[in-house]
Each structure stands twice: as structure tokens, then as C-alpha cells.
Amino acid sequence: MREIEERAAQAYEQRFGEGPELVASAPGRVNLIGEYTDFNGGFVLPCAIERRVAAAVGSAPNGRGALFSADFDEELPLDGEREGSWADYPRGVAREFMKGGAETPPFRAAFAGNVPLGSGLSSSAAIETATALALDALFGLGTPRKDLALLCQRAENAFVGVPSGIMDQYASLLCGPGTALLIDCRTLEGEPVPLELEAAGLALLVCDTRVERGLADTGYEDRRKSCESAARRLGVEMLRDAREEDLDSLSGDELKRARHVVSENARVLEAIRALRGEDFASFGRLMYGSHLSLRDDFEVSTTELDAFVDAARESGSLGARLTGAGFGGCAVALVNASDTGALASSVRHVFEERGFEEPAFYEFRPATGAEVVG
């Protein structure tokens, strides 16, 4: 077991006085390219990261379900309404199992995690998918992973109240080590794409700008609505089906949002070709292009995220872009492995000079997706 899984198991035992029946864990993700394309039926390319949420679960002998977070040192009842806390995620997932008609006796769960919270690395999806995988095993349901991803997305949409797409939950459940996952968000087909960065002397440096963002109170929903109205105006089911030459009939925000989605989908497909040919220089250029489009057309960047991307470009990184929903959170750069320290310190310096929060840095290798570990 990983340390984080041990921690969840120990928390369960300390809290409930006996060991859990099983432990599952699920990773956060970093999206390499393909932002705001998922709910438009388009393409995304995330990989799992070496930060996870673990869920230790067992049935509740007294019939009273309970949830315990080791990180918040807090116990909350399983039954409860949305309250804006960490418990909303497992509650939402449990409710979706019930709605689906599954036999779901009351259970107890203890959670421990090390995915940075609210910074765009999908801590929410990780707790949802860890819960879903653990419960699926506990109840002996054998639900296919894609269906678990959809169940978690429904929990997030219906219970947590964020109208997110499918990328994060799908990535957390289906990514594999050493690969990124090309997801066609319309057909829900996923295709692993080798990401041999180490062999190429490259690394992914993630910068957490420490500007916290909650998707529920950002412009996420507003962006989604603009995309849907642009699609309606163009007479297509989803912006995935729009072509660049169709966009002339749009104007204002609808034009900008749609232009981002159409160009971003094209960038993802080009990025896949580049990766397959181990052409990391082209891949990096596409990342920069993605950032500009997110900044100027989709308007979800911040001065901190832009400052990181500028610093990456100035220091000769192959590529950089904000990752996740933006409005704060994280950016990712593709850099020579020997340059990560220099980039981090130059960014620290810029942030200090400009009076920003002190950023945090992570180097990630594409990691293992969700698993039941014991």
C-alpha cells in the first residue's frame, strides 16, 4: 500500500474501532492540452499524477453510515444534504449508486489525500472516483470504469452542483502509468498515448499559483452556457461539430468561446501526431497556442498564470499553459529535465516582485489510475 492508503486505513481503524474491509485510491490529473473541450464533445489529453485520495471503507454494523476525513479531522454523517464540504463528494457518489438501483447498505469510510485542494489538479474527481471504486468493490457491483466515471460526473453535476464535463473523473479512473490518455468526450473512447518524457530528457513542471478557485463560484457555468448557445446558433449539437469557417456567423462572447473550442480541438489532434512522432518541440508550441487561446478567447486565465507562461517562454521551455479550469489554480510547462529548478526559481522571483502569493511547484510523471489496493 502507498503511504496515503495506509493513512486512510489507519484513520478508519482509529475512528471506527476495527479495520476497513477494503481500500481504494484514485489520482488527481494534469491536463496536457484540450481545455474546455470536454463538455463540447471534443478531445482532451490528461495524465494521472502521483497525488491521490484514498478511501478506506466497510459496512456500518449499526446501520449508521459515517464519513471521516483524516485531513480535516472531521466526521460527518453519510446521510445529509449538500453543505459545501468535502463530504458532499462521497455523499453525491453514494446517492448516484442508489439512484441507479444498486443495493447500497449504509457504509463507513475514512479518507486521506495529498492532491492539492482547489488548485485545478482534480482533487474533487479523485475523492469521487476513490469513493466510487471502493463502493463498487464493497457492494460487489462490478461496474465498468467508464460507467463509474459517468456516475461520478453525475454526482458532481447533480449533488455538488458544478456542471463539469467528463474529463477529470474519466482520467482519474482510466489513465495509466507512462501514458497520457486521449479521450474523445463524445464517444467516451480513450486511447493511451505513450509519454516517454524521461527518455527524452524532459519533465512536466506544474506551478500552483495558489489563487484558489472553486468551480461553483467562477465563470465555469457561464462559459458552458456560451458554448451551448453558440452551438445552437450554428445549428450543431455540440461545438465539436463546428468548423472554423462556420464561425463567421457568430459575434461577441459566443464567437470567442467557440473559436477557442474549435481551435483547441484541432490543437489536441495535432499534439497527438506530434507526440507519436516524439516531436516535443511541436507539442510545446501547441501548448503555448492553447494558453493564448484560453487567455484571449476563452478568458479564463489570470495575471499569475500568464506570468508563469511568460517566464517559461523566456527561459526557453518547450511549452506552457494553464491547466484545468483556470481562474487561478495551476499551469504546466514542458521543460528540459535539467531546467526545472531554474524555471521554478525565476518564477518565484517574478511572483515576489509582483506581489503575488508564493507559488508551489510539482514535478509529475504520468501515474497509475484508480485502483483497489487491499
CA distance 359 to 357: 6
Give the closest residue to 2 by CA, choosing from 46, 55, 41, 79: 55
Q: In the complex with ligand GLA, which residue's Cβ is closer, 2 or 225?
A: 225
Q: Which of 164, 290, 317, 340 binds ligand GLA (CB under 6 A)?
A: 164
Distance of closest approach, residue 324 Cβ to ligand GLA, in angstroms: 5
Restricting to residues 6-35, name those near ligand GLA by CB under 6 A. 35
For residues 181 and 49, is the Cβ–Cβ distance under 8 A? Answer: no
Find all residues with CB under 8 Å of 368, minimum gap 6, and list them: 27, 48, 175, 176, 177
Nearest approach, Cβ of residue 188 and ligand GLA (Å): 13
Q: Is 170 in the site for ligand GLA (CB under 6 A)?
A: no
Among 182, 272, 325, 331, binds ligand GLA (CB under 6 A): 325
Lookup: cell for 137 = 468493490
Q: Tell me which of 88, 168, 253, 297 is the catalytic residue.
A: 168
Q: Which stretch binds ligand GLA (CB under 6 A): 66-74, 164-172, 200-208, 230-238?
A: 164-172
Here the cell at position 339 is 531546467
| Cα atoms in the Cβ-side hemisphere of radius 13 Å centred on 173 | 30
For ligand GLA, give the closer residue by CB, 78 or 171. 171
Distance of closest approach, residue 117 Cβ to ligand GLA, in angstroms: 14
Question: Least separation, in Å, of the C-beta of 300 and ligand GLA?
Answer: 8
CB of 265 to ligand GLA, least distance (A): 12
Q: How many CB atoms lie within 10 A of CB 370?
A: 29
> Is residue 242 left, alpha or beta, with left meaning phi > 0 and alpha meaning psi from -120 to 50?
beta
Does 289 help bind ligand GLA (rule: CB under 6 A)? no
Ramachandran region, residue 366 (left: φ > 0; alpha: ψ -120 to 50; beta: rest): beta
User: In the complex with ligand GLA, which residue's Cβ is closer, 25 or 37?
Assistant: 37
Q: State yes or no: residue 92 binds ligand GLA (CB under 6 A).
A: no
3-state secondary structure of 101: coil
Position among 12, 16, 36, 308 found at the interface with ligand GLA (CB under 6 A)? 36
- Residue from 319, 324, 328, 369 that binds ligand GLA (CB under 6 A)? 324
> What whole-number distance in Å separates Cα of residue 20 and Cα of residue 1?
14
Instruction: Answer yes or no: 296 catalytic.
Output: no
Helical segments of 139-213, H only: 145-154, 167-174
Residue 168 binding ligand GLA, by CB under 6 A = yes
Applying CB under 6 A, does 167 fall inside the site for ligand GLA? Answer: yes
Q: Where are the beta strands (DSSP E) in 32-178?
A: 43-44, 46-59, 66-69, 74-77, 107-113
The reply on whether position 116 binds ligand GLA by CB under 6 A is no
Does 136 help bind ligand GLA (rule: CB under 6 A)? no
Helix %, strand %, coil % for the chain, to 5?
45, 20, 35
Query: Rounded to the nearest whole angstrom, what is the least distance from the CB of residue 28 to ligand GLA in the complex?
Result: 10
Which residues are known to be catalytic?
A: 168
Q: Which residues bind ligand GLA (CB under 6 A)?
A: 35-36, 38-39, 164-165, 167-168, 324-325
